Amino acid sequence: MPRVRKWIEVPLNSEYHIPVSATTCPVLVVPDETESDPVAVVREYTKEIGICDHIRGILLGRNVMYNDSDPLPIADAVASIWHGGGSPEEAYERALRELK
């Protein structure tokens, strides 16, 4: 019998920790997406890292895909922080240097 896997997608808001802490299912983060500055976008997308062990990923939305800046360094910086930590400023600057 195949194993059933369920994921929960929860919008990021001031009470995000309540539904995330109430489940053992893997969670995908869905940020507010109110920023346009690339570093602010990276900060918004990574601010909930560590809130619980079962946050498994983040959905990159229109703040990344349709940003005035190149979306690749923003996505790369977000992934870098999710997988290895660091500050949004350092991760974004490193992504810009590596992608040139």
Do the Cβ atoms of 23 and 54 come closer than 8 Å? yes
Tens digit of each residue's pLDDT (9 = 90 or more) over 20-62: 788 777 777 777 666 789 999 888 888 777 666 667 677 777 7
In this predicted structure, the answer to whether residue 19 has a pLDDT above a threshold of 70 is yes
24: Cα within 13 Å, side-chain hemisphere: 0
pTM, two decimals, is: 0.75
Which token pair is 38?
Answer: 């690339």
Do the Cβ atoms of 96 and 71 come closer than 8 Å? no
71 vs 9, residue with greater confidence:
71
pLDDT at residue 23 in the model: 78
Which token pair is 46?
Answer: 């990574």
In this predicted structure, the answer to whether residue 87 has a pLDDT above a threshold of 90 is yes
pLDDT at residue 84 in the model: 86
Tens digit of each residue's pLDDT (9 = 90 or more) over 62-85: 778 887 889 999 999 988 998 888
pLDDT at residue 89 in the model: 96
